[in-house]
Amino acid sequence: MYRIGKIIYLNKNTQCYESLLTINDIPQGNLKNIIKMINIPYINDSEKYSSCSCMNTCKYVFHNINNNNCSDYLTTNDLPFLVNYLTTNNYNIDSKLTKILNKEDRDLLFYITLK
C-alpha cells in the first residue's frame, strides 16, 4: 500500500510555488519508473527550527511524463493524468482507507495498492 499526497515546493526555475504529488515509497510495478527522489527545502525558518517538526526534506515525487506544464514533476493539476496512469497500470485507489485517514492528514490525497 502506498500513500499519495501533496507538498508545497518552490520551483527554482520559475520561482513559483507548486503543489507536488508525492508517494511515500518506491512502489512495485510500472509506477516505479516515474518516481524520483528530490530535496524539498523548508519553506521558512520556523519549520526548520521547530522542535515539533521531524520533516524529512527528501521526498519521492512523480516525474512529469505528461509534459503539459512547465514543471519537471507532477502537480495537483495533473491528478486526472495520474489517476488514469494508475488505473491503466493495475493500481487500485483504496477509498475506504483514504476516507478514514484523511481526517488526520490534510496532505493525503489517497492510498493505492497494486492489483
Residue 9: which of 76, 66, 96, 67 has the closest Cα?
76
pLDDT tens digits along 29-40: 999 999 999 988
User: What percentage of the chain exceeds 90 in pLDDT?
Assistant: 59
pLDDT band at residue 2 using 50, 70 and 90 as cut-offs: very high
Longest Cα–Cα distance in the chain: 42
Residues in the chain: 115
Residues of 5-31 as b/e, b for ≥16 C-beta within 10 angstroms? bbeebeeeeeeeebebbbbeeebeeeb
